């Protein structure tokens, strides 16, 4: 990458991911640094839900397993709907 703005945005995203995964409390510092980068709109969203994001950073609990199961079930339902639609069209024709 030779585009400085993209390099800054990439670094900001990597720093945010590290902050979430390592459960460090550097969120406020990250917000100030990333606010003026290409991910500024994402920073705005984080600031709107700052209490929720801050709790995610400092909480030892995770709902990742639950979210993974929900995603899996939605995928199964979408796949099933794609199979049922052609069958319903044949029966209805």
pTM: 0.58
Residue 42 has a pLDDT of 92
pLDDT block averages, 10 residues each, the chain of length 93: 82 88 81 89 92 84 85 87 67 63
DSSP for residue 36: T
Assess whether 72 and 37 both reside in one domain. Answer: no
Domain that holds residue 85: 63-93
**Angle at 30 (CA atoms; ends 27, 31), nearest 5 degrees:** 85
Assess whether 34 and 77 both reside in one domain. Answer: no
Residue 54 has a pLDDT of 86
Assess whether 4 and 26 both reside in one domain. Answer: yes
d(CA 86, CA 27): 49
């Amino acid at each position: 990458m030779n585009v400085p703005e993209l390099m800054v945005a990439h670094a900001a995203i990597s720093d945010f991911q590290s902050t979430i995964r390592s459960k460090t409390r550097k969120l406020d510092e990250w917000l100030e640094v990333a606010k003026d980068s290409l991910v500024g709109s994402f920073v705005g969203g984080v600031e709107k839900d700052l209490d929720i994001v801050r709790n995610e950073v400092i909480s030892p609990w995770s709902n990742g397993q639950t979210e993974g199961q929900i995603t899996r079930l939605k995928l199964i339902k979408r796949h099933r709907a794609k199979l049922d639609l052609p069958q319903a069209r044949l029966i209805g024709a």
